[in-house]
Structure formats: C-alpha cells, structure tokens
Amino acid sequence: MKNIITTVNGVSTVVHDDPWSMPGEDDSGNRDYQIVSLERLLVLAESGESLQKLYGVVLHPDDDPGVLQPWLDSLPLIALQFPRFSDGRAYSQAYLLRARHGFEGELRAVGDVLRDQLAAMRHCGFSSFAVREDKSAEEALKGLEVFDLIYARSVSTPQPLFRRR
C-alpha cells in the first residue's frame, strides 16, 4: 500500500515500504502480507489455515467487528473502510475493537482518509492511516501534530481532561 502513516509508541511517521496489499491491488510483491475481505477470512478460518501473521482483514462499515473475536489474538492488522469522508461508522468499529474486544494489533484506516480526520481517528484507536492516493502523506502527517488535545476520554487518552489536571 502507498501513502501510509503509522504510529508507534506515540510517534507518527510516513512508511515508504509497507508490505500489506489490499484486495484488488497488485500483490505480486509479497504474498505473505495480504489484507483479505471478511468473507475470505471466514473461508480461510473454516479450512483450518493458520491466520497468524499471514493475513489482515478489511471490515466495511456494515460489518460487525465482534465477528472477529475468535481471531483477534492472531490477526496482525485490521483495516476499517471509510467509503466517504462523511461516513463515520468506522470510528465506532475502531472504538469497539480496542475498548470492548481488546484488539492490540495494527488498526488501519483505509478509503477516503484525509488529514482533518487523523487526530480523531487516533483517539478512536487507529494506529495507521492509508491516506487517499491524491493527497500527500507528509502533509497529512501534520494533522496528527496540530489537534492533539481533546477534553473527552478516548482509547488513546482514557481519562477526560478534568481528571488529567
């Protein structure tokens, strides 16, 4: 994938050599890092194939993140789809995966991902962002640096501001 920003230990950087490929992308490079649809993941799991470190999964806004509960310990990456800038259902999916289901792997925002969303996405639990192809990842990175203070509690800041004082 291209235009990837990742956050590790609170430090965000642009990744130029991301190994993951989404369904429909040219995956002739590394077949060990494939992001598959939920349907494909369920077929692989039924066939008994090991999912550890081989596959990531992409969830669309209508998919229930709770379906992944049996595999959350073995999935290295879950990508959540933003079909439009104005569609915020993936924010809720991210929060549920982190807060309710305890997912600790990489949580990636994909689709119509823009600079203005990145800070809110991080507070919901996203750890990487596939910025829209027609935008610069370096410019989008500034979106994580500008708006960092929030008042409410979040996945990244569990205590509200008045408790942090």
User: For residue 50, what pLDDT is reported?
Assistant: 64
Percent share of the chain, pLDDT over 70: 81
For residues 110 and 108, what is the distance between their CA atoms, to the nearest angstrom? 6
* Residue 58: C-alpha distances to residues 27, 81, 105, 159, 165 (Å): 16, 7, 13, 30, 38
Instruction: Answer yes or no: is pLDDT of 27 > 60.
Output: no
CATH class in words for 4-164: alpha beta
DSSP H stretches of helix in the chain = 38-46, 89-95, 118-124, 137-146, 161-164
What pLDDT, on the 0 to 100 scale, is given for residue 142? 84
pLDDT at site 151: 57
Render pLDDT for 82-104 as a digit per residue (tens, 0 to 9). 999 889 999 999 999 999 999 99
Please, which pLDDT band fits residue 32 given cuts at 50, 70 and 90? confident
Q: How far is CA 83 from CA 49, 67, 74, 114, in A?
A: 30, 21, 26, 12
What gap in Å lies between CA 159 and CA 9, rounded to an integer?
A: 18
The share of the chain scoring above pLDDT 90, in percent, equals 50
Amino acid at 34: Q
pLDDT band at 28 (very low <50, low <70, confident <90, very high): low
CB neighbours of 23 closer than 8 A, spacing ≥ 6? 35, 36, 37, 40, 58
Examine the pLDDT at 79 and tell me if it is beyond 90.
yes
Domain definitions of the chain by residue range: 4-164
Kindly give, in sequence order, each residue whose CB lies less than 8 Å from that of residue 152, ignoring residues fewer than 6 positions away: 160, 161
* For the chain, the helix, strand and coil percentages under 3-state DSSP, each to the nearest 5: 30, 20, 45
